Chains A and B, each alone.
Chain A
Amino acid sequence: MSERIGVYICHCGTNIANTVDIRAVAEYAKNLPEVEVVREYKYMCSDPGQEMIKKDIQEHNLTRVVVSSCSPLMHENTFRGAVEDAGLNRFLFQMSNIREQCSWVHSDRKQATEKAKRMVAGAVNRVRWHRELTGREVQLDQSAMIVGAGITGIEAALKLADAGKKVYLVEKEPSIGGHMAMFDKTFPTLDCAACILTPKMVSVGQHPNIELLTYSEVEEVNGYVGNFEVKVRRKARYIDEDKCTGCGSCLERCPVQHKPGDNGHMLPEIEMTPEMQRRVDQIIDCHKHEKVPIPAILNGINQELGFLPKPALRYLSQQLQVPLSRIYHIATFYTAYSLEPQGEHTIKVCLGTACYVRGSQRVLEAFEDRLEIKAGQTTPDMKFTLETVNCPGSCTMGPVVALDDRYLTVDPNEVEQLLRSYA
């Protein structure tokens, strides 16, 4: 079916006309396929301009309208309104922006005119593909779900709730506050983080419009904007939330020790003994005047004690008057150091590319199976520590396993025998 397209080119005073030859563009548009009417006008967005469009729609039975003027952000609504007034569906309309995207960004008149012609041609071609669309009104649920109750989620929840909306605030951790709750100060104002956060946390807990779902995770989201249906998994708490007073006695008695970074085993908490302190003192004395003392001291402790006990690091921080965080940064950055006690024997499976290609992943899995631990862990009897290493440079021997100070080529089937030889 052929369309009857009306093309309107605006001068926008001198904004477009000074750079683009409107007459030339209009002449060009007349020759585009299915174009019925072409008009140019000083200010299309004005009342007479809009009337022009409406009149043409009725008198010429136009089926599509193109306006080449300014940005749609300015006047798309205006022209859509005019089209609709004239009895044509408001979406059978296309704008092309020959102002912000052409006359306002170019200075060469010839080139700008050519570009404007192409833009108009594009709009004319595109509008042919438009279909009638009808808007409709949908009932909106006047509620919102916020996932994540850190400071951002908390603030957003309070704003929405104060505006009268119902808010569901979902947080996967047992408590809200997120990272800010773990910080001392904010940047750059050096405000006390807790002093800013905690009043908000209380507000969230007390607000009549906020339903707090902690220790919960979003499982499924269905629906669409304005009408969502969300499935939230509420994790088992073993606590009656109505009865809990937050006294903390349960924490003192709890048999489960879960610290982030733990390898899952319940290793005994390491204490600082007088003996340990004496040895650390010796090591500090030995290296404290060196140019770069901290790594040398850490190496010394690692060698003496086999690992870096946390109390030793805390002691070191005190003795050297260096922030513990800096020592921790170094101690946790380098894989040479471990903050956990090491086993009698260290098994390092190489996962470098050459060894990987020769199947070292399966060797690692064989060790993990037999020892019933994962890489990075130590067996409960403290016999073996299993680790991965990234290339000791013996690639022709791959897959390489460094057992203490021996380098071996190991086949997954030989693992059992090898371990037994160390029993």
Chain B
Amino acid sequence: MNQFKTVQELLLFQESLARHKPDKVLIVSNATCGRAHGSLALVEAFKEAWKKHGLQGQAHLRVTGCLGYCDCEPLVIIRPGGFFYARPSPDDVEEIISESLIGDKPVEHLLMKDSATGETVWKENEVPFYRRQKRWIFADNFELDPTSLEDYLRNGGYRAMVKVLTEMKPEEVIEEITRSGLRGRGGAGFPTGAKWASCREAEGDYKYVICNADEGDPGSYANRGLLEGNPHSVIEGMIIGAYAIGAREGYVYVRMEYPLAVELIQKTINDCRSAGKLGRNILGTGFDFDIEITCGGGAYVCGESTALMASIEGRPGEPRAKHIHTVERGLWDRPSTLNNVETWATVPKIIKNGADWFTSVGTGDVSESAWGGSKGTKIFSLVGKVNRSGLAEVPMGMSLREVIFDIGGGIKDGKNFKGVQTGGPSGGVLSEQHLDIPIDYERMDEAGSIMGSGGMIVMDEDTCMVDLARYLLGFLMDESCGKCTPCREGIIQMYRILDDICNGKAKPEDMELLHELSEVLQTASLCQLGLTAPTAVVTTLKYFPEEYEAHIREHRCPAGVCKALSSSEVAAAT
């Protein structure tokens, strides 16, 4: 692709692409989960078949990123027929091509059987996992090859960027984002419009936009799905944001545990540079902006905004106190706007479809302020002991029950629901009594947990809540940066108490000490890691007190997990 020197050139090119939409498409997903299950070989097989049957020009082979139904990837979907195959092998390719692609018929023995109901799924629009979702952001993953700028353009990409650069003033962009009620999807839920406005107003000529792609929460990988499936959407969002704020440089901080995402984002940036969409004088509009990638080094705390910025600066990722916010003094002491991957990916959609479109879904009222409600959709990683697991994009306000049972298909192996861990290690564990809570920022807070980055780990009766609380503390203990005393020393002490409980060595004064330590950490820690560390303990104590009682008083682990408390004796043979 040549460099587009003006907006006109880009629009003309886009129009020409639109004229060549293929009649039939065969989609194969080829992201991390897919590759782990042989998608590379599958793609090769399809490429061979394309040559063999001379399908070039008649049908389009689209190799996509993550399609969200991770349990079953790689997926093969044929449109417009809607035939849906989960994990076919390269040996099945021939049959799929001749019967389904050319013959327009389903190959019955390859069709997916739903893991919850056991029923055969005949068409894409019948897939139970997808049916109740509202894939405003994620649906694009099906429409494009993440390595192809052409695909992104053909699908209407960069329209929003063009609109912003040619028709809107920066203040108008901020106004639109503010009206939409968009709140940060990284976990804190801070109103994006307000953040951008503060940064724009902050003193200084040199500003930065940063994409937080560290996604450290275990169990949460919605960002990976977007980075591997639709990296351009993130870049487009950042360009729009940079324009609105007045930033000339941007950074994407990707965790090193996502090597494919790093590769794809780098390629995307390179492609954008070659095409004139990044760099100096973007599309001849006079707007200069470029993006660099920094890789994480395997530290969870680097997901915290000030720690992340320290890491980009080449220092160890230790947070600092935020009485001066990063929008005023952030990266290299300059005004910086840090947003999550999902937030950035949502921005182009809002610009394209309008704030009113976004507010049509969700809870609350954002006419006064974005804090008044939770609008739009959110992508959750629904994992753990559910029948159907993967990335689910749902409207704010859908209940936990609907997500776990309707979309997730209920608990695996016929077991009983026990709890759901939301928001990563900083979040808490919710129990059966919370299943009907509508998912939004405020309601989750009230229940004692947080929405966080969207991790939703479902647990059944075989999970011990005390063990889980101990595990979460252990995780945070490892990842604590060590700078402030409450976190560095407090978490260890809390962990030891929980360890004692799990080993039947709890002392009566332990509970009081646990409460006291929780209070100290929640009040005095320097950053959110320490401040939210007690949440797991606090929520499990509140919602599963019987389990703690059993461990402490009866030296018994009801779930049968804590080895020291679950002894089995071998009876003599009779």
Decide whether A and B are members of one complex.
Answer: yes
CB neighbours (8 Å) of A299 from chain B are 295
- A-contacting residues, B423-463, CB 8 Å: 424-425, 455, 457, 459, 463
Stretch at the interface among B2-10, B251-259, B499-507: B251-259
Report whether A393 and B224 are in contact in the complex, using a CB–CB cutoff of 8 Å: yes
Is B313 positioned at the interface, with any CB of A under 8 Å from its CB? yes
Task: Report Cα–Cα, A357/B472, bound state, in Å.
Answer: 11
Report whether A336 and B36 are in contact in the complex, using a CB–CB cutoff of 8 Å: no
Report whether B258 and A392 are in contact in the complex, using a CB–CB cutoff of 8 Å: yes
Task: Report Cα–Cα, A408/B35, bound state, in Å.
Answer: 10
Task: Report Cα–Cα, A395/B382, bound state, in Å.
Answer: 9
Is B57 positioned at the interface, with any CB of A under 8 Å from its CB? no
Is A143 positioned at the interface, with any CB of B under 8 Å from its CB? no
Report B40 CB to chain A, min CB distance, Å. Answer: 11
Report A103 CB to chain B, min CB distance, Å. Answer: 33
Task: Report Cα–Cα, A407/B457, bound state, in Å.
Answer: 20
Report whether B298 and A335 are in contact in the complex, using a CB–CB cutoff of 8 Å: yes
Set A351, A396, A407, A409: member contacting B35, Cβ < 8 A: A407
CB neighbours (8 Å) of B390 from chain A are 396
Task: Report Cα–Cα, A334/B478, bound state, in Å.
Answer: 12
Report whether A356 and B298 are in contact in the complex, using a CB–CB cutoff of 8 Å: no
Report whether B33 and A334 are in contact in the complex, using a CB–CB cutoff of 8 Å: no
Is B312 positioned at the interface, with any CB of A under 8 Å from its CB? yes
Is A43 positioned at the interface, with any CB of B under 8 Å from its CB? no
Task: Report Cα–Cα, A409/B481, bound state, in Å.
Answer: 31
Question: Interface residues of A: mostly helix, strand, loop or mixed?
Answer: mixed
Report whether A337 and B297 are in contact in the complex, using a CB–CB cutoff of 8 Å: yes
Report A126 CB to chain B, min CB distance, Å. Answer: 25
Is B348 positioned at the interface, with any CB of A under 8 Å from its CB? no
Set A335, A352, A357, A397: member contacting B463, Cβ < 8 A: A357
- B-contacting residues, A307-358, CB 8 Å: 329-330, 333-337, 350-358
Report whether B257 and A406 are in contact in the complex, using a CB–CB cutoff of 8 Å: no
Set B36, B217, B425, B457: member contacting A394, Cβ < 8 A: B36
Report whether A406 and B70 are in contact in the complex, using a CB–CB cutoff of 8 Å: no
Report whether B384 and A407 are in contact in the complex, using a CB–CB cutoff of 8 Å: no
Report B423 CB to chain A, min CB distance, Å. Answer: 11
1/0 per position for A213-235, CB-CB distance to B under 8 A?
A: 00000000000000000000000
Pick the most buried of A334, A355, A357, A392: most chain B CB atoms within 10 A of its CB. A357
| A390-B216, A390-B479, A391-B217 given; A354·B384 CB < 8 A | yes
Stretch at the interface among B102-110, B153-161, B314-322: B314-322
- A-contacting residues, B467-489, CB 8 Å: 468, 471-472, 475, 478-479, 481
Report whether B316 and A329 are in contact in the complex, using a CB–CB cutoff of 8 Å: yes
Is A398 positioned at the interface, with any CB of B under 8 Å from its CB? yes
CB neighbours (8 Å) of A391 from chain B are 216-221, 257
Q: How large is the interface on A (under 10, 10 to 19, 20 to 34, 35 or more residues)?
A: 35 or more
Set A336, A355, A389: member contacting B297, Cβ < 8 A: A336
| A293-B314, A294-B314, A353-B219 given; A394·B472 CB < 8 A | no
Report whether A292 and B299 are in contact in the complex, using a CB–CB cutoff of 8 Å: no
Set A329, A333, A393, A406: member contacting B221, Cβ < 8 A: A393
Report whether B36 and A406 are in contact in the complex, using a CB–CB cutoff of 8 Å: yes
Q: In chain B, what residue has the closest Cβ to A361?
A: B471
Is B383 positioned at the interface, with any CB of A under 8 Å from its CB? yes
Task: Report Cα–Cα, A337/B297, bound state, in Å.
Answer: 8
Is A405 positioned at the interface, with any CB of B under 8 Å from its CB? yes
Is A380 positioned at the interface, with any CB of B under 8 Å from its CB? no
Q: In chain B, what residue has the closest Cβ to A391?
A: B218
Report whether B221 and A398 are in contact in the complex, using a CB–CB cutoff of 8 Å: no
CB neighbours (8 Å) of B455 from chain A are 353-354
Is B138 positioned at the interface, with any CB of A under 8 Å from its CB? no
Report whether B314 and A295 are in contact in the complex, using a CB–CB cutoff of 8 Å: yes
- A-contacting residues, B16-72, CB 8 Å: 32-33, 35-36, 70-71
1/0 per position for B214-258, CB-CB distance to A under 8 A?
A: 011111110010000000000000000000000000000000111
Report whether B297 and A394 are in contact in the complex, using a CB–CB cutoff of 8 Å: no
Task: Report Cα–Cα, A390/B219, bound state, in Å.
Answer: 9
Report A205 CB to chain B, min CB distance, Å. Answer: 32
Q: In chain B, what residue has the closest Cβ to A350?
A: B218
Report A120 CB to chain B, min CB distance, Å. Answer: 32
Q: In chain B, what residue has the closest Cβ to A337?
A: B297
Report B447 CB to chain A, min CB distance, Å. Answer: 18
Task: Report Cα–Cα, A356/B385, bound state, in Å.
Answer: 11
Set B256, B317, B471: member contacting A333, Cβ < 8 A: B317
Is B389 positioned at the interface, with any CB of A under 8 Å from its CB? yes
CB neighbours (8 Å) of B220 from chain A are 391, 393
Report whether A336 and B384 are in contact in the complex, using a CB–CB cutoff of 8 Å: no
Task: Report Cα–Cα, A56/B312, bound state, in Å.
Answer: 80
| A353-B457, A353-B472, A395-B383 given; A330·B314 CB < 8 A | yes
Report whether B383 and A354 are in contact in the complex, using a CB–CB cutoff of 8 Å: yes
- B-contacting residues, A224-272, CB 8 Å: none
| A330-B314, A337-B297, A353-B219 given; A393·B463 CB < 8 A | no
Is B421 positioned at the interface, with any CB of A under 8 Å from its CB? yes
Set A293, A329, A330, A397: member contacting B36, Cβ < 8 A: A397
Report whether A333 and B258 are in contact in the complex, using a CB–CB cutoff of 8 Å: no
| A335-B297, A353-B457, A405-B259 given; A393·B32 CB < 8 A | yes
Q: In chain A, what residue has the closest Cβ to B261?
A: A393
| A356-B471, A395-B383, A395-B389 given; A334·B298 CB < 8 A | yes
Is B381 positioned at the interface, with any CB of A under 8 Å from its CB? yes
CB neighbours (8 Å) of A352 from chain B are 218-219
Report whether A396 and B313 are in contact in the complex, using a CB–CB cutoff of 8 Å: no
Q: In chain A, what residue has the closest Cβ to B37?
A: A397
**Closest 4 CB pairs between A and B?**
A352-B218, A334-B297, A393-B221, A335-B298
Chain B positions within 8 Å of A, measured between CB atoms, are 32-33, 35-36, 70-71, 215-221, 224, 256-259, 295-300, 312-317, 381, 383-385, 389-390, 421, 424-425, 455, 457, 459, 463, 468, 471-472, 475, 478-479, 481
18 residue pairs of the A-B complex, CB under 8 angstroms, read: A330-B314, A333-B297, A336-B256, A337-B297, A353-B218, A353-B472, A390-B478, A390-B479, A391-B217, A392-B257, A394-B33, A395-B381, A396-B70, A396-B71, A397-B33, A398-B383, A407-B33, A407-B35
